[in-house]
Chains A and B, each alone.
Chain A
Amino acid sequence: MQLALFLLCTVPFWTSNVIRMISWIPFLGRNGIFNQSLIALGIVDHPLEFLLFSDFAVVIAYVHLFSLFMIVPIFNSMARIDPAVIEAAVDAGAGRLRVIGEVVVPLSKTGIAMGSIFVVALVMGDFFVVKIMSGGQSASVVLAMSNEIAVLQYPPAAASAVGLLLVVTAMVVGILSIVDVRRELSG
């Protein structure tokens, strides 16, 4: 059961990212499934415009594309939690929310940190989601870079690259200083 649910989560991630991203276009578009359902249900009377080609669409697409990279490390951490620990917390009088807050989340810390590293690196390195999903309304460093490269402006692109690299490195070093990834992996 657990494995089946896990596979259910992972299957979409084995397909092309570009395809998965553009799949939002017919879904969120003005005449998309979502808007038409809303109209059919009588919730709104004209299509919502902010759904596609907006910051909202960018965030949706990122979550859709990259959430697996958070799920897998956290799944791995949680799988190592001894169920007896949770039972002990319940025996000690912790409510369900307290169990999650005081036991499960702290014990999943490494997974959360690892997932954060992956997601930060992926989002910071992306430009095609921003380009397509924002409809040209949002910008990101990497998108600017890719435009510079497209017009063969390598020096400014390289300069942005170094800046971006420093930022990402700083973020990852920050996360790594909280958890010893190597020890967690081999331990």
Chain B
Amino acid sequence: MRQPGSNRRPWTFYALAAFFALYVLFLYGPMSAIFILSFQGPTGGLTFPMVGVSLHWFGALFGQQRTGDFAGSFTRSLALAVIVLSITVVVSVMAGLAFRRRFLGSTLVFYMAIFSLIIPGLLLGLGVGLMFQFLGIKPAWYSSALGAQLTWTLPFGLLIMFAVFSRFNPAYEEAARDLGAGPWQTLSNVVLPILLPGIIAVALFGFTLSYDEFPRTLIPIGSRNTLPLEIWAMTTNVTSPALYALGTVTTAVSFVVIAVALTSIAVIQRRRTRRGTQVDGGD
């Protein structure tokens, strides 16, 4: 609805802009309260007012006696997220390549993937947990919880790869074949490098979906919690601003991961458009 060049914007622009501003306030307002309160002084409580400013509650996070196994659950969550990311990237890319042609049962496979995405998370966790119990396997974060998370990240990855491939021009592959590249050479020299930003996006999704996943992981996690489950447990038994400190720390980790992913995408895009010297004018 923006009309570049016209100096008078329609009134709907202002109405929608005001609505958007309210929405942003709605998104960030409560979050900022948490971040501010995580710097609560040692004697402060769960709500305002602030009683001094300190890093006391961040320190408290690592004292296990008060806040549970923060360090352990944090490393578990990171490890699990990395495993999920790797499997999601590999499987999504392969599935995306496969779905470029209609194969026997492709529609069925597609709808099964969608279905797996929409099954309420707790149900899925329950199913996975019961299955492991039934099979007599002890549930653990690296087995049953990993499986439960993949049911969620794989369909997401597949959907993103669909969108990525829909913008991929098959002429690149034909050009590569024309220039003597074999199938593997075409894949590694042409297809994957061109799709790299999309693949990074899948990785990013895989990581964050796993790192924050809660309802699916709850039942099949076994005896050692991931970070969101640990936080969940804390909400019921920790009544100190350490909870907010935890929120601030996990948020910071998420942001670091996103920043790394987005920067790498931006670097790739820039390399493609802005390498070498200044672009001359038209023809």
Contacts and interface: CB of A to CB of B under 8 A. Distances in A.
Verify that A and B bind, or say they do not.
yes
Interface of A: 5, 8-9, 11-12, 14-20, 22-29, 31-33, 36, 63-64, 67, 76, 83, 86-87, 96-97, 99-100, 104, 117-118, 120-121, 124-128, 132, 142, 145-146, 149, 154, 157-158, 161, 164-165, 168-169, 172, 176, 181-182, 185-187
B30 A20 contact: yes
Contact of B46 (A16, A25, A181): A25
Contacts, number: 164
B47 interface: yes
A23 B247 contact: yes
B171 interface: no
Interface in B88-113: 99, 107, 110
Q: Tell me the dominant secondary structure on chain A's binding face.
A: helix
Contacts of B250: 15-16, 19
Given A23-B34, A26-B47, A124 B166 contact: no
A128 B215 contact: yes
Interface residues of B, number: 60
B120 A168 contact: yes
B163 interface: yes
A78 B240 CA distance: 44
Contacts of A118: 118
B10 A19 contact: no
B247 A125 contact: no
Contacts of B227: 16
Given A142-B122, A158-B126, A14 B258 contact: yes
10 contacts: A15-B250, A16-B247, A26-B37, A26-B46, A36-B48, A99-B12, A125-B119, A126-B120, A132-B235, A185-B163
Nearest to B100: A186
Contacts of A36: 48
Given A100-B12, A168-B120, A125 B130 contact: no
B43 to A, nearest CB: 16
Contact of A146 (B23, B122, B159, B162): B122
A29 B254 contact: no
Interface string B118-158: 11111100110010000000000000000000000000000
A31 B47 CA distance: 7
Nearest to A61: B30
B120 A121 contact: yes
A125 B228 contact: no
B228 A31 contact: no
B254 A121 contact: no
Given A121-B119, A158-B126, A15 B235 contact: no
A161 B227 CA distance: 26
Contact of A19 (B117, B130, B247): B247
B20 interface: yes
A176 B110 CA distance: 13
A5 B98 CA distance: 35
A22 B34 contact: yes
B114 interface: yes
A74 to B, nearest CB: 13
A8 B17 CA distance: 14
A126 B212 CA distance: 14
A33 B48 contact: yes
Given A18-B232, A182-B110, A125 B47 contact: no
A27 B33 contact: yes
B50 to A, nearest CB: 11
B24 interface: yes
A187 B29 contact: no
B254 A125 contact: no
Nearest to A123: B120
B184 interface: no
Contact of B162 (A121, A164, A186): A186
Interface in B209-258: 212, 214-215, 218-219, 227-228, 231-232, 235, 243, 246-247, 250-251, 254-255, 257-258
B119 A23 contact: no
